[in-house]
Structure 1
């Protein structure tokens, strides 16, 4: 019996590697009269309008073998001058040279794409089955990796794939190339890991073993009973692009696309886990946790994505922030890092928040809503104007978890699992979180969420940490924090990147873009020192608190009076003996 082609079918040709052009043809079996087509302007999980249509070119249409008109009435939308009497065929090209996890890439070494960059949306038919045939150049040795269901593919993975609808199609990226591939099972579920760009020293067995521990820990976190039966996927794919310099990830329904510095991969001669590898494991943990917390549980506003414009929500502090809380904590529970390493990571998150004056300007709920114009469009004023919903959201999760544990009624683990059941693994509102907290504790949590999420009040971190056996020390900070600066030091030049609100540098009159060339004691101005590193200030000035900073701005030279403050501190966490504090052990072990 002849197999029927899906009513919407894409053919993606990846053979034009030298020109970085994907060639796409789209078959629409039953088009509407004047069929409307569009390409998404953003990709779910990355909250910025990225205008993918800027890379689409040469769009042409035919019906019954004859060319029909194509009329563009929007930056990413087209009307086809067709009738509903015959199949419609479209052809177009997409330029692919963005080596990130969000768009598409094609060269002689590697191919990658998200459907949001390549696949036009057929308006009115988003919910029908969508097919995709992937082709490579003749004689290609490339292989393919994707979470999309294969129907008929060759040994390399090229061939036919099927999605139940448009949302699924564009939520399953494709990786192509001569990549490294490894496999493992976690709670009986098959997982695949592919890596492009790994060096010969890469220890694949180590990465697979560590990733397996992460996956099993997280599956069991969400599904304590019969985890394999209740996990929201039957197969999972990790796609990692190892590059000279880069970091990031983007979650998908049964896969994730990652990018990292290739030197952060575990090496065969690695005796002690490097900080870079710990960071990579944290990224893997974060994106995998998103399989539940944002891809299944998700903001109610994301129940159905609107690909044509921004999709606003105030809940990114929960979906990104709570995921950021658990990504490192679950590394500790998987026994991949010890207590000291975990507290070092938590310490870093706390200091990132405390060193951002924007936390006193914008609540974390507002920061979530403004992600489209602030977090993803950062500039020199970002730390003064907003707060990261990743870092502060993680600290909100910490405060809720430690409060629950201190009261002895529940913990955040139980709340997350309760939300999974309450929301049926689907759309979630803040009211659902409040209801679940109240059900598990017998009291209202409106006061806490109002203070911690919807205001700029400081979080009760010291009190809660000390109640769980963690001591907070206030140490002298590095010079940049002491002065309220973020700088770039290169080739003997100290360049100011950001001036933090209320700091000594702002009071002196420094501005982003300044180059700080020299410094002198206010008492001995005749002795001026060339400044090549900010930390050298202590050597050059000794115990002097008053200084004269020589800076250049727009080729003009300024002398600024600078006072070095002594009342700025940074946090350092240390742990009391866990044998003396059962709460600490229960928290870290997930008891």
Structure 2
């Protein structure tokens, strides 16, 4: 598969796409555009952004085709071994999963606009960008050619799955720095009206990255890219990818709030390099881009990751206790003040992400796999620590998940996760699965029971609001310090 992207008028927001395919001399060929993207479990129907669509033989003659679903086309190849599909894609949205083109910069998520055929999913893909010669490309894909005098760069993906898991930024003003942890080089890219404090950024990023790598044992990739797009308006969004993360933040006032957001989302997305990119539910192996891929364990994929994102900032010394408590209180407030009496369990809300997981929804129906999932992870972590006096923890669970399911990349089931947790805990945790994961029983009692062991308590006021407070107890303070400063 060879894709060529260009824009005759970037301010129109249209990207022109030429997709060259070797047909294998079949009489008909079906091509598909993804209906959703990894990292956001809802149908987004990217085909709605295509304005023009045509198919041609190697001589430029049109070929007959028919649209057979909302995002699938059947082409009459007439025996042609090479065909070209030409279409344009409207790229006018700026979030961490979209595409956008302008005179100043390009931002492309290939999953939005790159067609595929079922038989070509595992074959190498070439992505050719026709861009100005002074544009620098930030992307996790390998660059196989240098820009020519008229511009352009060519990137290579091992297969379609890698291609659509590799967003890119390109501009003449993008800024970058890098650092190295063990054998992996990490790149931090910044696009926007901002003057980064690189000394502070690199110091803090090195700390939380080293803490994560130390806990998990090794890093999945030889390179990793933090792709940051900083807007002038308020924004907060990040998406995980195989060897990168796409992050969109704002406003670009360079205030402390923006920097805290950068740290929080970056640490969260980095932990996804293990948890969901490689430690992946078996229902998502492989991705089926044509329809919903239902699974019940998003509370592991997102809840555990949310818990660890901020915990690693505290463990590494990037956050102090006050900063960590502030983030922990955010999960509590968002869950208990908004969804305390929700009817769904975490597994039900994981499944229903595909229905309305990213919308407010009707009252008292669903819970957030991020917020309640993070609180459930906290309860589990402290439960294991308490029994084993910090000699075992949720860290051991995630390392075993990495070794058994992530490294061999075989996919895990809900039962697999249960089995690993109870192997580490060395006991049955029926109460945990029943009360915290499989039912809609409120978490207050289990949460405060766990928090009390580390000298914390969630207080619920008469108006339903919650607040996290410290308890003055020397024994509990000692346990809290071991929890927040634990190191492999």
Q: When the two structures are superposed, what TM-score results if normalisation uses the length of structure 2?
A: 0.92
Look up the match of 2:321. 339
How far is the alpha carbon of 1:442 from its aligned partner? 2.5
Q: Distance in 2 between matches of 1:318 and 1:455?
A: 16
| Aligned with 2:450 (options 455, 459, 464) | 464
Query: Is 1:447 aligned to residue 452 of structure 2?
Result: no
Query: Is 1:86 aligned to residue 86 of structure 2?
Result: no
Q: Distance in 1 between matches of 2:327 and 2:83?
A: 54
Q: Does the CA-based 8 Å contact 2:280-2:405 persist in structure 1?
A: no
Look up the match of 1:517. none
**Deviation readout 1:33-62 (Å, 9 max, x if unpaired):** 211011101101011211100111322112
Q: Distance in 2 between matches of 1:308 and 1:415?
A: 33
| Aligned with 1:73 (options 41, 59, 68) | 68
Look up the match of 2:468. 572
Q: Distance in 2 between matches of 1:193 and 1:180?
A: 8
Look up the match of 1:251. 240
Relative to 1, partners in 2 of residues 1:580 and 1:300: Cα closer, same or farther, differing over 3 Å?
closer
SS in 2 for 1:298: coil
Q: Distance in 2 between matches of 1:264 and 1:295?
A: 32
Query: Is 1:316 aligned to residue 295 of structure 2?
Result: no
Relative to 1, partners in 2 of residues 1:338 and 1:168: Cα closer, same or farther, differing over 3 Å?
same
How far is the alpha carbon of 1:440 from its aligned partner? 2.1
Q: Does the CA-based 8 Å contact 1:102-1:250 persist in structure 2?
A: yes
Alignment of 1:82-231 (within 5 A): 82-137=77-132, 140-154=133-147, 158-177=152-171, 178-200=173-195, 202-223=196-217, 227=218, 231=219
Alignment of 1:275-294 (within 5 A): 275-294=257-276
Relative to 1, partners in 2 of residues 1:472 and 1:132: Cα closer, same or farther, differing over 3 Å?
closer
- Where does the alignment leave 5 or more consecutive residues of structure 1 unmatched? 1-7, 267-273, 477-481, 483-567
**Deviation readout 1:294-328 (Å, 9 max, x if unpaired):** 10001110011110111111111110000000011
**Deviation readout 1:277-301 (Å, 9 max, x if unpaired):** 2232110001111010010001110
- Where does the alignment leave 5 or more consecutive residues of structure 2 unmatched? none
Q: Distance in 2 between matches of 1:572 and 1:407?
A: 24
Q: Does the CA-based 8 Å contact 2:131-2:153 persist in structure 1?
A: no
Look up the match of 1:389. 369
Look up the match of 2:12. 19
Relative to 1, partners in 2 of residues 1:435 and 1:264: Cα closer, same or farther, differing over 3 Å?
farther
Q: When the two structures are superposed, what TM-score results if normalisation uses the length of structure 1?
A: 0.77
SS in 2 for 1:462: helix
Relative to 1, partners in 2 of residues 1:208 and 1:438: Cα closer, same or farther, differing over 3 Å?
same
Q: Distance in 1 between matches of 2:468 and 2:21?
A: 60
Q: Does the CA-based 8 Å contact 2:454-2:476 persist in structure 1?
A: no
Superposed CA RMSD:
2.1
Q: Distance in 2 between matches of 1:415 and 1:474?
A: 31
Bigger strand share: 1
Relative to 1, partners in 2 of residues 1:213 and 1:158: Cα closer, same or farther, differing over 3 Å?
farther
Alignment of 1:187-586 (within 5 A): 187-200=182-195, 202-223=196-217, 227=218, 231-243=219-231, 244-263=233-252, 265=254, 274-357=256-339, 359-379=341-361, 381-382=362-363, 384-408=364-388, 410-425=392-407, 426=409, 427-459=411-443, 460-475=446-461, 482=463, 568-576=464-472, 581-586=477-482
How far is the alpha carbon of 1:578 from its aligned partner? 6.3
Which one is further off, 245-254 or 458-467? 458-467
Relative to 1, partners in 2 of residues 1:155 and 1:332: Cα closer, same or farther, differing over 3 Å?
farther
Larger radius of gyration: 1
Paired residues in the alignment total 476
